[in-house]
Amino acid sequence: MDPMAEIRLTFFQECEEQLTALENGLLSMQEGDSDSETVNAVFRAVHSIKGGAGAFKLNALVSFAHIFETALDRVRSGELVPDVDAMKLFLRAADALADLVSASRDGGVEVTAPYVAIEEEFNALIGGGGAAAEEDEFANLAFQPIITAFDEPPPPPAQNVFIIRLRPLRELFAKANEPLALFRELARLGTLTSICDIKNLPFLDTFEPEDSYLSWELRLETDSQRAAVKEVFDFVEGDCDLAIELAQSATAPPPQPEMDITAILRKVREEAPAIAAAAAAAAPPPEADAAPKAVKAAVQPTIRVDLDRVDRLINLVGELVINQAMLTQRVLHSSHVRDREVTSSLEELERLTREIQESVMAIRAQPVRPLFQRMSRIVREVADATSKDVRLRTEGEATEVDKTVVELLADPLTHMIRNAVDHGLEGPEQRVAAGKPPEGTVKLAAAHRSGRVIIEVSDDGQGINRPRVLQKAIANGLVPPDAQLSDSEIDNLLFLPGFSTASTVSNISGRGVGMDVVKRSIQALGGRISISSAPGQGSTFTLSLPLTLAVLDGIVVTVDEQVFVIPLTAIVETVKHEPSRIHHLGDHSFVLRVRDVLVPLIDVGAELGVRGPTSDLRSGVAILIETANGTRSALLVDNIQDQRQVVIKSLETNYMRVDGIAAATILGDGRVAMILDVDALVGPRHHDWAAAETPLAKAS
Amino acid sequence: MTVTILTVDDSRTMRDMLRMALVDAGFRVVQAEDGLHGLDVLRGERPQVVITDINMPRMDGFGFIEAVRQDAQYRAIPILVLTTESDDEKKLRARRAGATGWIVKPFDPAKLIAAVRRVAA
Amino acid sequence: MIEKSLNPQSREAEFVAFRAGSLEFCINIMSVREIRGWTPATAIPRAPSYIRGVINLRGVVLPIVDLGVRLGLPGTEPTARHVIIVAQVDERVAGLLVDSVSDILSVEDTSIQPTPDVASQLARMFVRGVIAMDGRMISVITMDNVLPAGMDLEAA
């Protein structure tokens, strides 16, 4: 990749980070944080985006960032104390800036109404004058041509002769400027001769190493104009006495120099070490750096690593785990090695391998914070569009989960948050009428619980309108008209394909995706979703997700000599399976009585086509499982072999998705085994039904 | 001897751009992410020229320049500040803190190198 | 040979030739990752008959296509003497179960003849052309349609 393109990539990556920092800072300012470092960080974020955007000539971005930055600078300097409305404007501007960044990244930015509107609001906020004065600057910034030496017009034929008198002041040296460097620059413009005046040089006993004693008269013959000559002294302006005279005449021969420039350079060079040594001896040991050092410890050092490298490491460790399992199995099966030491070494190896694996997985773990932060924008947008007052509260943002899980959660979570604001929360009047505060609350919480990540989306709105849900489900033929459903069964109807609660499709949530899509995305991540709701008090959606997509705890079962893995999270219990508890419903359908409830009994072998359907299900083991929507079924297998952690291998990478199979894995003997997709296996029996066991139980 | 340049900037984009331009021009480049980090690197690497941003976390460019100028060992190192065109006031403040010169953002490599050349011993 | 390689028009390619049933096939050596012996595969539920299952190839789950069955020939009962040609198929990698690998052929582009019109629809899905060489008829296999397609779209 060409280096500029690479830096461009870096820039946009960095923009994402800056935008996050920006939003964070603004949110904590909104909460009343007026710490100057918070305000500074917010300012810096916008400033950095502007700086990089300038380098890539992203003019729209530069100009929007600039006006935003100007307003923030006023806050920083204390000239502007943002009120509630100003904070809202800042947050909206942050959203708009994020949009502009994406638009700039994908090419093609049009300055559309929202940006203009926000810019106008900014102008109003900071007073039009300031912003107008800055306009010129963009013009410079945006259209600044790249001037290189080659582009300059040919020099006028006549030679100019400048006489330059320079007497550096001590400030010039204090800023590490050097007459020597200035001469070198001048010499690039033409022919330079100089006379050094050393009459002010004191004797060594009164020599002040940091003072300035020399002055020069220089004569420069050059094609350049005065401006170019003056530019050389740009950095030392005010730190020296300087006079530049244009001493005409290309005809007069230059006077013989009394001391040529190389001699001066030599002289300065010879003196420099002495001056430096004197300075070093004179200066007391600096104390200034002691204080800064103490602050430093707070920052955790981090390194950036290519994701590919991490994934490669994870794959290798995955193979190591398999190999270790194979080794153990082989050693323990070969009868002549039953040495105690070998066994304990193998156990140690297993422990180490497991530990390496966990550490490597932890590299991919990321806090859910950025994901939650994105949601605050969604809340703002939907609240604006629906004229509701909404506050988003987040909890457990530091909870870590696999990067891919975090990424794939964005869409379902967005949808749930939209739903919560659009459908869950009431309007302000309605809330007040119900005795609630006018401002609704949506809460987003994450926590680790028994090896999984639990994410809750809750609102303090009206709760699920169950009569309407049921009515709609009946109208759509999803449940029989006379169905007697429990509250939780009615709530679960929301997850059925095509179900949408809003009687009028709003343009917020009504985008053709229902909760069934959310549920499917969560399931695709190996997660489950459940819902609870109390009328008038609100609803809570709970997601339970695996910490990683790389390994899974499962039980290893056999069906007709083929080995399968059933994810442990789906399993409720293994059921004592006696022929008397099985009822044949005909058409190769069976139910199993588990205590007082009848659940469908699924012959895994027949279901997957491993063997033909049979009406004789007397042998085997039944495993009671619970699917994501809380319905229970029993899976019939021949044997349970083992419970173990397995490394998940995609079947889709080289093959394709197989209905009823979640993924593949490699077992201790090196062979591939399929991991069952329990929900899909059970699915067909329940496709119209949220909960099948209750009516069956009533039938018994 | 290759001239070593220390760049101090909290923006990775800027650091990358500086590095690209300076390395192309034959300089050796060492980098730091803020003023405090800059002081650390300065002591370890002893660069001949320093280029620093102003707005940075932990220790900004002003603080950094002041700290360098107060250190007898390093006070003679030329320091260029990166600034935006409008920041006359910042330029002045940087000069007061002891900056040797400045580079206006966005810079093109030729101008950057010219500025470095003007201050490099 | 020298004359041939000097001729800028002719491009030579190498092919791995193998037998499946009574027929000879070859595939471009550029798409061959490795050749290995048969190991028992794990069946994939609901797979078409020509998919023998998957094997573990150094941590990669590799689907095995019984090439004979795929081409409409009678099925193979694989033994230790059978061979798996591990080949790249677009973004995917698959193993082809064949009877044996016969040799490596250097063939010029120009000597590959188009698939005869009389060939069956099935054959034309996989056969890009035919090489006639020393009295042998060797079909050049293209890997594009070897794996089943379409189901992943349905899943998405």
| A506 pLDDT higher than 60 | no
In this predicted structure, the answer to whether residue A254 has a pLDDT above a threshold of 70 is no
Task: Tell me which CATH code domain A3-143 carries.
Answer: 1.20.120.160
Closest residue on chain A to C51 (Cα): A655
Interface contact C81, partner A, CB < 8 A: no
Tell me how far apart the alpha carbons of residues A13 and A410 are, in angstroms, rounded to a whole number.
18
- C125: exposed, middle or buried (C-beta count within 10 Å: 0-12, 13-18, 19+)? middle
List of chains touching A (3+ CB pairs within 8 A): B, C
Q: What is the DSSP string of A320-339?
A: HHHHHHHHHHHHHHSTT---
CATH class of the A551-699 domain in this structure: mainly beta
Q: Look up residue A318 and give its two tokens.
A: 């995955």
A45: number of Cβ within 10 Å: 29
Contact by Cβ (8 Å): A498, A572: no
Among A562, A655, A661, the residue with its CB nearest the CB of C63 is A655
Write a three-state SS string for A147-159.
Answer: CCHHHCCCCCCCC
Q: Do A52 and B56 touch (CB under 8 A)?
A: no
A318 neighbourhood in chain C, CB within 8 Å: 59
Cβ–Cβ < 8 Å for A545, A407: no
- Please state the domain extents for chain A: 3-143, 154-277, 307-363, 368-546, 551-699
Mutation for A interface: C46, C61, C62, most A CBs within 10 A: C61
* Residue A382, H or E segment: helix A369-386
Q: Do A654 and C47 touch (CB under 8 A)?
A: no
Determine the Cα–Cα distance for residues C114 and C123; give it in Å rounded to an integer.
Answer: 12
CA–CA gap between residue A526 and residue A538 (Å, rounded): 27
Dist. CA A40–CA A72, nearest whole Å: 9
How high is the mean pLDDT of chain A? 77
Question: Taking 60 as the threshold, does the pLDDT of residue C18 lie above it?
Answer: yes
Q: What stretches of A426-480 show up as alpha helix (H) in DSSP?
A: 428-433, 466-475
Residues of A in Cβ contact (< 8 Å) with C92: 653-655
Which range is most confident: A189-193, A301-305, C131-135?
C131-135
A649 and C CB contact within 8 Å: yes
Confidence of residue B31 (pLDDT cuts 50, 70, 90): very high
Nearest residue, CB atoms, B12 vs list A14, A148, A286:
A14
Given a contact cutoff of 8 angstroms between Cβ atoms, the answer to whether C126 and C68 are in contact is no
Are C92 and A659 within 8 A, CB to CB?
no
Is C58 in contact with A563 (Cβ distance < 8 A)?
Answer: no
Facing residue for A177 by CB, picked from B71, B107, B119 = B119
**In the prediction, which pLDDT does C54 show?**
95
Strand, helix or coil at C101?
Answer: strand
Closest C-alpha among C68, B77, B94 to residue A181: B77
Asked if A589 and A675 touch (Cβ cutoff 8 Å), the reply is no
Chain B residues with beta carbon closer than 8 angstroms to that of A279: 72, 75-76
d(CA A148, CA B49): 22
pLDDT at A316 over 80: yes
Minimum CA–CA partner of B94 in chain A: A175
Name residue B33's amino acid: E
Parse chain B into domains and list their residue ranges: 4-107
Q: Residue A37: its chain B contacts at CB < 8 A?
A: 57
Show the tokens assigned to A7. Answer: 């830096």
Neighbour subunits, B (≥3 Cβ pairs < 8 A): A
Identity of residue A179: P
The 10s digit of each residue's pLDDT in A605-624 is 888 888 877 666 667 888 99
CB A499 within 8 Å of CB A493: yes
The correct answer on CATH 3.40.50.2300 for the domain covering B4-107 is yes
Q: Is C touching B (3+ C-beta pairs, cut-off 8 A)? A: no
* B7: chain A residues, CB-CB within 8 Å: none
Q: Tell whether A560 lies on the interface with C, counting CB pairs under 8 A.
A: no
Confirm if A29 and A91 have CB atoms less than 8 A apart: no
For the stretch A224-229, contacts whose Cβ atoms lie closer than 8 Å and that sit 24 or more positions apart, written own/partner, are A224/A155, A224/A160, A224/A189, A224/A190, A225/A160, A226/A160, A226/A162, A228/A189, A229/A162, A229/A164, A229/A186, A229/A189
Nearest to A315 among C41, C45, C59 (CB): C59
Contacts of residue A563 in chain C, CB cutoff 8 Å? Answer: 42
**Per-residue pLDDT reduced to its tens digit, A321-380:** 878 887 887 787 776 656 778 888 888 998 898 888 888 888 888 889 889 988 988 898
Residue A484: exposed, middle, or buried by beta-carbon count in 10 A (0-12, 13-18, 19+)? exposed
* Cα–Cα distance for residue pair A561/A336, rounded to 1 Å: 28
What size, in residues, is chain B?
121
* Residue pairs spanning A and B at CB distance below 8 A: 140
Verify whether the Cβ–Cβ distance A654 to C92 is below 8 Å.
yes
Residue appearing with tokens 């500040």: B81
* Orientation of helix A403-419 relative to helix A369-386, angle to 10°: 20
Q: Which amino acid is at A78?
A: G
Peptide bond into C63 cis (omega under 30): no
Cβ <8 Å between A610 and C53: no
Predicted pLDDT of residue A513: 56
User: What's the gap in Å between the CA of B30 and the closest CA on chain A?
Assistant: 17
* DSSP assignments along A191-247, one per residue: EEEEEEE-TTPPPGGG--TTS---EEEEEEEESS-HHHHHHHTGGGTTSEEEEEEE-
Confidence check: pLDDT of B13 > 70: yes
Mean pLDDT of C84-97: 90
Q: Among C45, C58, C94, whose Cβ lies nearest the Cβ of A661?
A: C45
Helix axes A113-126 and A59-77, enclosed angle (nearest 10): 30
pLDDT for the residue numbered A265: 57
Contacts of C40 in chain A (CB under 8 A): 671
Closest residue in C to A661 (Cα) is C45
Identify the DSSP state of C110.
G
The residue type found at C49 is S
With CA atoms as reference, report the closest residue to A19 among A139, A125, A104: A104
Percent of chain B clearing pLDDT 90 (strictly above): 16
pLDDT in tens, A436-467: 999 999 999 998 876 778 999 999 999 988 88
C-beta atoms of B71 and A289 within 8 A: yes
Amino acid at A378: I
Give the chain B residue nearest A275 (alpha carbons). Answer: B76
- Distances in Å between the alpha carbon of B111 and those of A47, A289, A348, B19? 22, 32, 62, 14
Burial label, A615 (beta-carbon count in 10 A; 0-12, 13-18, 19+): exposed
Please compute the mean of the pLDDT values over residues C97-106 and round it to a whole number. Answer: 90
Q: Specify the pLDDT at position B74.
A: 84
What's the Cα-to-Cα distance from C155 to each of A86, A114, A628, A652, A656, rounded to whole Å? Answer: 47, 39, 18, 11, 9
Q: Do residues A422 and A386 make contact, with C-beta atoms less than 8 angstroms apart?
A: yes
The DSSP element (H or E) to which B92 belongs, if any, is: helix B88-97
Q: Of A626, A694, A632, give the one whose Cα is nearest residue A483.
A: A694
Cβ of C93 under 8 Å from any chain A Cβ? Answer: yes
Q: Would you tell me how many other CB atoms lie within 10 Å of the CB of residue C116?
A: 11
- The CATH H-level (homologous superfamily) assignment of domain A368-546 is Histidine kinase-like ATPase, C-terminal domain (3.30.565.10)
Integer angstrom CA distances of residue A653 from A149, A246, A694, C89:
54, 76, 40, 11
**Does residue A671 surpass a pLDDT of 60?**
yes
Pull the structure tokens for residue A252.
């007069």
Which range is least confidently modeled, A239-253, A387-401, A410-424, C18-32? A239-253
| C-alpha closest to that of B47 among B70, B22, B11, B13 | B22
Please tell me which residue of chain C has the smallest CA distance to A318: C59
Q: Which residue of A has its CA nearest to C43?
A: A562
Contacts of A646 in chain C (CB under 8 A): none
Q: What is the pLDDT of residues A540-583, one digit of tens each?
A: 999 988 877 777 888 999 998 899 999 887 888 888 767 778 88
Buried-exposed string C22-46: b where 16+ CB fall within 10 A, e elsewhere: ebbbbbbeebbeebeebbebbbbbe
**Residue A673: band (very low, low, confident or very high) from pLDDT cuts 50, 70, 90:** very high
A214 touching C (Cβ < 8 Å): no
Domain covering A154-277: architecture: 2-Layer Sandwich (3.30)
Which tens digits make up the pLDDT trace of A4-58? 788 888 888 889 888 988 988 888 888 888 788 888 889 889 988 988 888 888 8
Q: Which of A561, A562, A672, A681 to mutate to test the interface with C (most CBs of C within 10 A)?
A: A672
CA distance linking residue A90 with residue A563, whole number of Å = 58
Domains of chain C, CATH where assigned: 2-145 (2.40.50.180)
Q: What are phi and psi of A569, to 5 degrees?
A: -65, -20
- Chains with ≥3 CB–CB distances under 8 Å to C: A
How far is the C-alpha of A593 from the C-alpha of A574, rounded, in Å?
A: 13
Please give the distance of CA A461 from its chain centroid, rounded to a whole number: 30
For residue A292, the chain B residues in CB contact (below 8 A) are 35-36, 39, 59, 63, 67
SS3 A620: coil
Which of A50, A210, A289, A299 is the mutation pick for testing B, counting most B CBs within 10 A? Answer: A289
A111 Cβ neighbours under 8 A, 6+ residues apart: A60
C151 neighbourhood in chain A, CB within 8 Å: 656-658
CA angle (A457, A458, A461) in 5-degree steps: 145
Is C95 within 8 Å of chain A by CB? Answer: no
Provide the edge-to-edge strand list for the sheet that holds B49-52.
Answer: B28-32, B4-8, B49-52, B79-84, B101-105
C52 sits in which H/E element: strand C51-57
- Rounded Cα–Cα distance for residues A627 and A631 (Å): 6
User: Confidence class of residue A152 from pLDDT cuts 50, 70 and 90?
Assistant: very low
Q: Which of A183-187, B6-10, C13-17 has the lowest mean pLDDT?
A: A183-187
